[in-house]
Structure 1
Amino acid sequence: MKFAAIIPVFILSLTMPVQDARASEEFVVVVNPQNPTSKINKNELIDIYMGKRTAFPGGSKAFPLDFEMNSKLRTGFYQSLLGIPVARVNAYWSRIRFSGKVSPPMTHADLPSVLDYVANNTMAIAYIPKSAITDNVKVVYRLYE
């Protein structure tokens, strides 16, 4: 009887670190201020980042940016957006990369390089921490609302 009562508590404790890590970082999705897109919805964002859509809602080409595989920002973003571990996202891209039909988002090593790329490319789209918003980017989606 005692063992049965401990199992739900143990299972709950396994999920808590993921929730805590996700709650500590608030992400926004940004584009270049000259990009005509002013708003994007969650499904459109998922489709862009999972390679199912290659254009913004208005039809112009989208160039999604990502952080390197072991980045904490990447892990937090995909957990927030999709609710799945980044390992599943990596496995997904490993499977479809070889189809040749779609490429994964371009990766960058750090936040300054992502911000610089978005500031200089009107069709770039990226996720960044809310705290990193500058005048050189335009927010089109907030993951924390």
Structure 2
Amino acid sequence: MSRPIAPTRADFRHFRRLDTRWMDNDVYGHVNNVTYYSYFDTAVNAYLIEKGVLDIHGGGTIGLVVETGCRYFASVAFPDTLEAGIKVAHLGNSSVRYEVGIFREGADSAAAAGHFIHVYVDRDSRRPVTLPADLRGVLEGLV
């Protein structure tokens, strides 16, 4: 089986700076694999909050993660500064597939690349809803 090729910056639509933390490192001296999923959540949700389409405390529509995955290409460690590239690979009626690349600051190739799928639901009923128009508009800019 051939090793997948790391995505590059050109594969993503938006970037967000992320600072590694002391606690991100594991006993092997690099950022632990599970920490990347936190980076993914932080990059995407911060973007949506900044764009005014996600109200984590009172919004009627929330995104629930139903699938995740990640591939690792190079180690990163505290005190590296990272940049998360994000894009929307699929925009459905009530779901979105985000793809995220984690880059060392200034690097062209991703150290890790992953995805997660949000299904947007009504906060109270937890039933899927059609993406609100303002959210869809922001997400279309990441396709």
- Fold in common (TM above 0.5): no
TM-score range, shorter chain: under 0.3
* Larger Rg over CA atoms: 1
Q: Which one has more relative contact order, counting CA pairs under 8 Å at least 6 apart? A: 1
TM-score by length of 1: 0.23
TM-score by length of 2: 0.23
Relative to its length, the structure with more helix (as a share) is 1
Relative to its length, the structure with more strand (as a share) is 2
